[in-house]
Each structure stands twice: as C-alpha cells, then as structure tokens.
Amino acid sequence: MEKELVFRPLEKEDYGTICKWWKWWWKGKVMEKDILPDDGKGGFVIEKNDQPVVCGFLYLTNSKTSFLGWVVSNPKYKQKDRKEIIKLLIHNMEEFSRELGYEYIITVCSNKHLIDMHKDLDWTVNKQPSYEIIKKL
C-alpha cells in the first residue's frame, strides 16, 4: 500500500494535538495561541496516512521576509522517515513563502538535528549560538 503524505494548513482543532507534542518535547511547556500567527492556525502540518507527523508556523511580514517557527513533530510517530517528512515540511513552507512573493525565510532553532536538516536544504546557519528571547508585554 502506497503511503500518502498530505501537506495542509493548520486548523483550529490541531492546536490541542500540537500542545501535546510540545509538552512531550519541551518538558511540559507550550506556545500560547496569542504568540502564534493567526491565533494558532498560521502554519502547516504534514500527515501520513491521516496521522499528523510534523507541523510548523509561518509568520508573514510586511517585508520580503517570512519567519518559520516552532517546528515540532509527533513523538508517537516512530517511522524511519520522520527526518525526511520534517525536511519536506520546511521545503513546502519555503515554496509557500516564495509563491507569496517573499524573498527570504528565516528561523531560530537550537536543536542540532533540526539545524542539520536546514543545512541539508541549503539554509545558511550562523556559527554563533542564538537564543529565542521573548517578553510578554
């Protein structure tokens, strides 16, 4: 049986699932909807045979730059193609940004595996460590 991958926009109902993934990977922490684009719907997910595997959020700006953030995968997904599906998500989000007229896409991350995936996709990686610095006003 052929395995079907679907790249689709996030829906309101996806937020609860994504929070479970964040809690697993980030030891109980989640991103609140109000920090996410479009109240938690501004991004994409890839499903394999109707099972959500990975998602990411896309901030669209008034410049020529979009921002890819908060990529997270389903910790219960145990197939060996997880890395390739994550790379496909990033690539598809690049293409979506390009189709909207953006000339740059940036991200911030600290996960070595995710950094390596970006390198595989020809992203330029700063050699200096970066940190997400957030302040709720």
Q: Where are the domains of the chain?
A: 5-120
- SS3 call for 27: coil
pLDDT per residue, tens digit, the chain (137 aa), is 457 999 999 999 999 999 999 999 999 999 999 999 999 999 999 999 999 999 999 999 999 999 999 999 999 998 899 999 999 999 999 999 999 999 999 998 888 888 888 999 998 888 887 777 777 78
pLDDT of 7: 97
pLDDT of 2: 56
pLDDT of 64: 97
CATH 3.40.50.300: does it fit domain 5-120? no
Whether 67 contacts 107, CB under 8 Å: yes
pLDDT of 126: 83
CA distance 6 to 117: 20
- SS3 call for 77: coil
pLDDT of 81: 93
Q: How many CB atoms lie within 10 A of CB 110?
A: 10
pLDDT of 55: 98
